[in-house]
A = this chain, B = another copy of it.
Amino acid sequence: MKGSVFIAVSLDGFIARENGDIDWLPPGGEGEQGEDYGYKAFFDTVDVLIMGRHTFETAATFDPWPYGEKPVVVLSSNPVTIPDRAARFVETMSGSPGDVVEKLSKRGAKHLYIDGGKTIQRFLDAGLIQRMTITTIPILIGKGIPLFGPLHHDVKLRHLETRQFSNGLIQSTYEIKS
């Protein structure tokens, strides 16, 4: 089982403003016309998308539903309102990152896409992320929702690749050393 992160971040390490706004991202970041920064190629390799409730609630405001028919797991111990257009593809789970990975592994999933700040932090700290692709946007926003958080131990990474885009975005892919 492999867990991956694929995310954009301000140079000062935020994935969104405090209120969730991503107005500071350049346009076309997720498969619209033009550059998609490798997102679709990555997304096509994913079996299940895992996210927290906050990220899901932001995604649920998008119409059309942004994840197609990809299975989505929302981590929440409380009930989550799932829009009708997504109901066939979304389920909620609670429990530790390890429990969730085990459950999905038993169903045959091989590649998990872990999304959202808190969820990424929990999976990283549990040693359940093997690869991260981080696209750095050339802006400082000062405060917001951080990509990374406290860890119980250092996490050493192996740099695999860095791509530069003409609009100044820098995309680095790292493998987590085990």
Interface, chain A (partner B; CB < 8 A): 11-13, 24, 124, 134, 136, 138-143, 147-159, 162, 164, 168-170, 172, 174
Contact = CB atoms under 8 A, between A and B. Distances in A.
Given A148-B12, A174-B11, A139 B156 contact: yes
A162 B164 contact: yes
Contact of A168 (B136, B148, B151, B159): B159
Q: What DSSP secondary structure best describes chain A's contact surface?
A: loop
A168 B136 CA distance: 16
B143 A150 contact: yes
B170 A159 contact: yes
Given A148-B12, A148-B140, A174-B11, A168 B164 contact: no
Contacts of A24: 154
A149 B158 CA distance: 27
Contact of A157 (B140, B155, B157, B174): B140
A37 to B, nearest CB: 14
A11 B11 CA distance: 10
